[in-house]
A = this chain, B = another copy of it.
Amino acid sequence: MRQDLKNISARVSSIAPFHVMRLLERAKQLESQGHQVIHMEVGEPDFQTPAPIVDAGIAALKGGQTFYTPAPGLPELRQQIAAFYLERYQATVVPERIFVTPGASGALLLALSLTMDAGQEVLLPDPGYPCNKHFIELLSGSARAISIANHPKKKLMPEHIRSHWRNNTCAALVASPANPTGTTYSVQEITDLHLACRENGGVLLLDEIYHGLDYEDNISSACQVSDDIIVVNSFSKYFGMTGWRLGWLVVPETLCEMTNRLMQNIFIAASTPAQYAALSAFQPDTIKVLEQRRRCFQQRRDYLLPQITELGFKPLGTPSGAFYLYADCSDLADNSYSLCETLLEKYHLAITPGADFETTSPEKFVRFAYTTDMDKLKIAVERIRQWKRDTSE
């Protein structure tokens, strides 16, 4: 009866492994040998979920909240998210447009399913979040990654959209703040992107999962710009709920009914304990903790950015949000992947090579995640300095 299954789908067989996974595995080996590895490759905040959220999750479990919720999410949670848009962004979003999802991953799958058919194309900035391409290919579409390195702002711009839009293009997917660059888009920039998509009959999808982890004044949400932009958000990053797997999607009113049907069919609903826990995410004592953490991330960025610049890395764009610096290392090394390997093997510092984020010039870039504390960041900088000394000898 044993006979190997050969018929894996083409859609899946094109998924390349993340380079960071091999580095992570090696990092674990080094740690098991007693080395202290500094982790600057991890795309996850190093803070636990704030106590009020955890307590609300525990209370929900004690109260027997273990059954399915309605497919679009708990009505009171959708209302709270709507209230949050009004309070923080002065944006009116009716709760009916908000769908609570299994992580932002679930929201991305919904957003693309709603707007893209097989054979259609979605425009993305290159570099960008690596999973986006695979969501699109999972749905038999194609991802068109547009290099942003040559634009002064290092962001996807309306002129990119206008020049790359083709007959089968249906959408552009942009993140603000962006992974890996940490760049953010202004209200005007979002408006211009939206108009460029609409004049082509397409739709703008905005990934705002790093909102709240932004370090300049008044980041803008696409919900301030138009009800017709599809917005992805998450409780993972700012709210510190990664492992709970909870996100949300904001859709235009015309898509609410179909989004509801799609959710019923492909998710049933998001996690019930997570949704009850998230009911405490917007209360003042939680926000106070989150704002402290935001300042903490800001301090790390403010320390790290000049340090790595001084070391010879050249950041791409202005990293004003998320917890990443994406930098050109070509003045320091021929190949970013070898650099990452050397830093890990000999200096026990884990960072991520550009190959996980872009196809344009992967060998030129590395990503630093400042998801570790200041003391460790200082050690990391010292280790890079040591590597420079060692290589210049």
- Are B58 and A243 in touch, CB under 8 angstroms? no
| A: contact size bracket | 35 or more
Known: A244-B271, A245-B270. A66 touches B44 (CB 8 A): no
Specify which chain B residues have a CB less than 8 angstroms from the CB of A106 in the assembled complex.
Answer: 102
- Are A243 and B69 in touch, CB under 8 angstroms? yes
Would you give 20 A-B contacts (Cβ < 8 Å), ordered by A?
A2-B227, A4-B254, A7-B115, A8-B114, A9-B114, A10-B117, A12-B113, A13-B258, A15-B258, A16-B261, A17-B257, A18-B261, A54-B61, A54-B62, A102-B103, A105-B266, A134-B262, A244-B273, A245-B271, A273-B274
Specify which chain B residues have a CB less than 8 angstroms from the CB of A44 in the assembled complex.
Answer: 67-68
In this assembly, does A64 line the interface, its C-beta being within 8 Å of a C-beta of chain B? Answer: yes
The list of the 6 closest CB pairs from A to B, nearest first, reads A243-B272, A118-B140, A49-B66, A134-B265, A131-B265, A5-B252
List CB contacts (< 8 Å) of A206-235 with chain B: 225-228
In this assembly, does A170 line the interface, its C-beta being within 8 Å of a C-beta of chain B? Answer: yes
Other than the given A5-B252, A245-B272, 6 more pairs (CB < 8 A) read A11-B113, A18-B264, A21-B264, A58-B62, A140-B140, A245-B269
In this assembly, does A198 line the interface, its C-beta being within 8 Å of a C-beta of chain B? Answer: yes
Shortest beta-carbon distance, A198 to chain B, in Å? 7
Alpha-carbon distance between A11 and B141 when the two chains are bound, in angstroms? 12
- Are A9 and B117 in touch, CB under 8 angstroms? yes
In this assembly, does A255 line the interface, its C-beta being within 8 Å of a C-beta of chain B? Answer: yes
In this assembly, does A116 line the interface, its C-beta being within 8 Å of a C-beta of chain B? Answer: yes
- Are B242 and A66 in touch, CB under 8 angstroms? yes
